[in-house]
Structure 1
C-alpha cells in the first residue's frame, strides 16, 4: 500500500482498489493460460470474471479522476460514493476468492497440475491482501 497519501482518503483507498482490481482481472488470464486443459465451464466463467473485474477497475479509475479534479474538496456525497464503491469491490473480491477455490477444488485439470494449485493459492492470497487493506481503510472511516 502506498502510504504517502497520509490521511488523504479517498485517494489512498481508490489507488489500492484500482491496482487490485486490475490484478484480479489479469489473474483470470493467468489461470486460463496456465491450465491449458481447463474445463470449458471454468474458462467461460473466468472470461466473465475478467469482464466484471475490468469493469470495476474502469469504474474506480473514473472515481480517481473525479477526486483528482476536485482538488481534495470532496463533498460528503462523493465521499460516501467512494466508500460504497470500495465496499462493492471488497465484496467482489470475496466472491472472486470463492470462485478461485471452486476452480482449485473442482477442476480435474487443476488437481493434476501442482503449479496451478500454487498459483491459484497465490492469487487468493493477493485478493485477501486487498480485502485486508480495504477493510482497514473503510473501518478507519467509521
Structure 2
C-alpha cells in the first residue's frame, strides 16, 4: 500500500509539472507554415491585425509569438486588443529569440515567415557605433 501511494504521488507530481509547463508557455509549438513573431512591442496589435486581414483569404492562419514575457500576460494583452482575428489563431510562448532551444520550441525551421519586433529603445542611452 505504501509503495502504491508513493508511485501515485510521483505520477501526480509529473502530471502537475507538465500542466504547469503548458500553462506557462514552455511547451513546444508543433506548428508548420506559420508566421513567427519574435519579441513584443506596442506595434504588435496593428501587426496582428494586418496578419489577420492577410490570412483571411486563406481561411485563417497561425501566428506564434515568442517573447520574454509570461504566456498568460501575453494572452491577456492580445485578448484585450480590439480587432477581429478573422480565423487567425495566435499562440504565445515564453522564451528568447537568441536561445536555440527556445527557437526550436516555436518550430523556427518550419515557419513561413519570421518577424522580429524590437522593443522601444531610448536613443539617449544608446552608444554610437564607432569604426
TM-score normalised by length of structure 2: 0.24
TM-score w.r.t. the length of structure 1 is: 0.23
Q: Which has the higher helix share?
A: 1
Name the one with the larger strand percent. 2
Q: Greater Rg, structure 1 or structure 2?
A: 2
